[in-house]
Structure 1
Amino acid sequence: MNSSQNPHHQKQIEEEQRYIHIIRVGSLKMDDKWREAAPVNDIEASSWIRIFRAFDTDHDGLIQCEEMQKTIRDSTYSFGFDHYELQKMSLYLEMREGKPVDFADFCYLMSKCKGYRLREYLFKAALTVTPRNQRIHVFSELQRYKCVPPPLFLIFLSIVQLAFYLYYVIDSSEGVWLSGPIPTMSPLIVSQFHLSELWRLVTYCLINVGIFHVIFNIIIQLAVGVPLELVHTWRIYILYLMGALFGSLLSLALDPTVFLCGGAAGSFAIIGSHLTTIVTNFKEMENATIRLPFLIVFAALDYALAVYQRFFAPRIDKVSMYGHIGGLVAGILFTFILFRGSKPSRFYTVSFWVSLVLSGFYIAICIALTVAPSLLH
């Protein structure tokens, strides 16, 4: 059957040809407030990638600035620009000082010129956590993203953590300081005396000890976690929860005589995941030479404080430092399990199965070490 006999295929060809007739969501007839918040519709979203590919004549994923400036002047309507938007795009291209435009840059510039404020912020956030070799797929999806579900998991989690911290500060009368309060009677924290209460294995991440830990976890969750949640949606929920689970299991296995509370395991899972992405895609990441050492130093400071609180803090009730390590391990392993990309390579396929097996061994060994003492008795 040829294409002329297939109505669905014929319709697809017609839509492919419509990229030069973009729906003018940014037209002057639209109310300005709606225009600022309006998501890109499906036809315009698909048109952006088609326009980009049409003018990427050598198919290297880049458009030279001079070439693009000439193109938008000659084919203004193809880009859906009015005169004002054309002037803005020309100005932004001049500011790039000849730096080539890839698809991620193209989407960001298009959103900026057409006044899609929300979408501009989404693209800017995604740039910080997405390797260049994965951006076409990610940004094509983000164009159709209508904030359903919205990236609110880590924002809401941060608010809850701050609320619990302030509640226990007031309730304990200890005030704000580096090593407390530690709500040892809380039904949420991990304790060797409540091993049957399985919810504690993850709910302990809601209770933070010390103001530095609160600030550290909120910064990581918002600055790194929210962009990751924007790109990977529900996978970040699993990553964070597995970080909390790995942290509690390791703490019970290696340091069962003390309590465990704090969101560091989840935050270290986010850090571990992002560091893994940076290391495995170092040349493809935005500002990798800055982000890598900064995250390592920032995480090291938080872990050093956890070691101090475990061994040197002037108080009887201690908090385990192994949650950080468990979260970091989970972040590294589940990066290969959850974030394989649209076209996984052989490396990522092998890494997926190796990480899955190692995760199973990790959980089994931690459970064995936790229950072994009671079985021996």
Structure 2
Amino acid sequence: MSQQSIKGGPNHATSIPLRSVEHHWLTIFKKYDADNDGKISVRELYNQVNGPNFTNDIPKHAVQNIVKQFDVNSDGFIDFDEFVILMESDIGRRLINRTLNRYIKHTVVPRKRKIQTHRDITDGEYEDEYTCSPPPICMLLVSTIEIAFFLYDLYSLLFSSKSKYAGFTDGPFRFGPVAELTLYTPSKRSEIWRFFTYMFVHANFFHLFVNVTVQLLLGIPLEMVHHWWRVLIIYLAGVLAGSLGTSVFDPTTSLVGASGGVYAIITAHLSTIILNWSEMEHAGWQLTIFLILMVVDFGQFIYYRYFLQVDLRIGYEAHLAGAVAGLLVGVYVLRNLEVHSWEKVLKWICFALYIVLTALAVFYNIFYL
């Protein structure tokens, strides 16, 4: 164990034993110890974060709370020992990763914090708590599979005259061998896997591009906070709801595309906003934007289908069912920053409602179709 001398005040020095890892923290500590007196005051922190050379080590709105939480001896300062405790805590590690995760700020709600404060919390303070560990690979993997299947089918169709496979048609669309095995079609409803695997089939490049783009832009931020398995549950719940909803409300229509899962990811963001309204910055604006997108999308469907009598061959029943599933399942499985008693009740109501709706749709498919 090595020794490093740090000034403990204007007229004396204190010898502090340092572990090897603490040498790194010492460099950062000296950066914020502007007057080199061996401790960091609130004023020094504020001067640093408002100065031209600030590199976002600590969020501006978190300075006061950090001092309150880690000023162990309540002297209004953070000494080096307290600084090491801060940097080696979960909060410290998340602050260090803040720059890497800046691009998804204000999108989803973070993990529960281990150190509880109440009245001194500023809205949005913990929206900096994103992490790339473990890496968000779920939506990347799903998107890669969807792209690979689409390219394989496209290859089969382009070279069908030279191969044994000649493709098959469904209405105006022409599909390849993967689609033949995986798309949802009413005549093959007994093949249960099709209620899920239709997500891997897309009608054209634009259809694929839109779905992959949206699920990556919105799914990856969710994974970085709530972990891949929660996002995958929501995605698959939306996919299943999409096929079941289509089978109930439009039973003669085949279904392709991942739109059910995509809409589930969209409304999962609404779940985080609803449950964590007071902890998020600009929650009202986020909610407004999502609602506008949903209203425009379904409004277009209603206008074309019922006013212009034009069938766009878009599975809006799957969109709507997937959106409902994402909202219900999202409320139940996603992390919640501040858990209130009414939210616990809401979670179970949403879970029960999803189970009941899914069971009714399955029952309808078995006994009435």
TM-score interval, normalised by the smaller of the two chains: 0.5 to 0.7
Q: Is the helix fraction higher in 1 or 2?
A: 1
Q: 2:34 aligned with 1:73, yes or no?
A: yes
**Secondary structure of the equivalent of 1:291?**
helix
Q: What SS does the aligned partner of 1:190 have?
A: coil
Q: Is the alpha carbon distance of 1:319 and 1:132 closer, same or farther for their aligned partners in structure 2, counting shifts above 3 Å?
A: closer
Q: Is the 8 A contact 2:238 2:322 kept in 1?
A: yes
1:327 is displaced (CA, Å) by: 1.0
The answer for the alignment partner of 1:224 in structure 2 is: 218
Q: Which residue of 1 aligns with 2:72?
A: none
Show the counterpart of 1:215: 209
5+ residue gaps in structure 2? 1-15, 41-46, 67-85, 116-125, 159-170
Q: Which residue of 1 aligns with 2:69?
A: none
* Fraction of identical pairs, as percent: 25
Any conservation in 2 of the 1:278–1:285 contact (CA below 8 Å)?
Answer: yes
Q: With the length of structure 2 as denominator, give the TM-score of the two structures.
A: 0.63
Unmatched tracts of structure 1, length 5 or more: 1-17, 30-47, 52-68, 80-85, 174-178
The answer to whether the aligner puts 1:124 opposite 2:102 as a matched pair is yes
Is residue 363 from structure 1 mapped to residue 355 from structure 2 by the alignment?
A: no
Q: What is the distance in 2 between the residues matched to 1:213 and 1:299?
A: 18
Secondary structure of 1:196's match?
A: coil
- The match for 2:145 among 134, 138, 160 is 160
Question: Aligned partners of 1:74 and 1:91: how far apart in 2?
Answer: 17
Q: Deviations over 1:34-61 (max 9, x none)?
A: xxxxxxxxxxxxxx9xx9xxxxxxxxxx
- Structure 1 counterpart of 2:266: 271
Measured in 1, the distance between the counterparts of 2:114 and 2:53 equals 21
Counterpart residue number, 1:91: 52
Tell me the equivalent position of 2:164: none
Give the Cα–Cα distance (whole angstroms) in 2 for the partners of residues 368 and 299 of structure 1.
29
Are 1:125 and 1:227, in contact at CA under 8 Å, matched by a contact in 2? no
TM-score by length of 1: 0.62
2:12 corresponds to: none
- Partner of residue 290, structure 2: 295
Kindly provide the amino acid, as one letter, of the partner of residue 163 in structure 1: A
Question: 2: CA distance between counterparts of 1:341 and 1:207?
Answer: 34
What are the residue-to-residue correspondences of 1:53-202 with 2, within 5 Å? Answer: 72-73=33-34, 90-91=51-52, 93=54, 100-101=61-62, 119-120=97-98, 122-125=100-103, 127-131=105-109, 134=112, 146-147=133-134, 150-169=135-154, 171-172=156-157, 181=173, 183=175, 186-202=180-196
Query: Aligned pair 1:206/2:212, yes or no?
Result: no
- 2:261, 2:109 → 1: CA distance? 22
**Counterpart in the other structure of 1:330:** 325
- Note the 1:20-39 alignment, pairs <5 A: 23-24=21-22, 26=24
Q: 1:302 to 1:154 in 2, by over 3 A?
A: farther
Distance 2:270 2:110 in 1: 16
**Could you tell me how far 1:28 is from its partner in structure 2?**
11
**Preserved contact between residue 275 and residue 343 of structure 2 (Cα < 8 Å):** no
How many residue pairs get aligned? The number is: 297
Note closer, same or farther for the CA distance 1:216–1:291 as it changes in structure 2 (3 Å cut).
Answer: farther
Distance 1:171 1:301 in 2: 36
Q: Secondary structure at the match of 1:164?
A: helix
Aligned residue in 2 for 1:255: 250
Q: Which amino acid in 1 is paired with 2:220?
A: V
**1:183 partner amino acid:** F
Contact 1:181–1:209 (8 Å) recurs in 2? yes
- Residues 289, 336 of structure 1: alpha-carbon distance in 2 compared, 3 angstrom cutoff: closer
- 1:252-295 Cα distance to aligned partner (Å, 9 max, x none): 12211111111111111111110232244344324435433433
- Give the Å deviation of 1:192: 1.4
Amino acid at match of 1:231: V
Distance 1:122 1:252, change over 3 A: farther
Any idea what the Cα deviations from partners look like across 1:315-345, whole Å, max 9, x if unmatched?
xxx5532111111111111122102436522
Alpha carbons of structure 1 residues 254 and 94: separation in structure 2 relative to 1, 3 Å: closer
Give CA-to-partner distance per residue, 1:117-151, whole Å, 9 cap, x none. xx3455325533334795678789867x643xx21
Is 1:235 equivalent to 2:213 in the alignment?
no
Q: Is the 8 A contact 1:20 1:77 kept in 2?
A: no
Which letter does structure 2 place at the counterpart of 1:364?
A
Q: Identify if the C-alpha distance between structure 1 residues 154 and 182 changes in structure 2 by more than 3 Å, giving closer, same or farther.
A: farther
Superposition deviation, residue 190 in structure 1: 0.9
Tell me, in whole angstroms, the C-alpha distance in 2 between the residues paired with 1:275 and 1:112.
Answer: 24
Question: 1 or 2, which has the higher strand percentage?
Answer: 2
Judged with a 3 Å threshold, the aligned counterparts in structure 2 of structure 1 residues 20 and 100 are, in CA distance, closer, same or farther, namely: farther
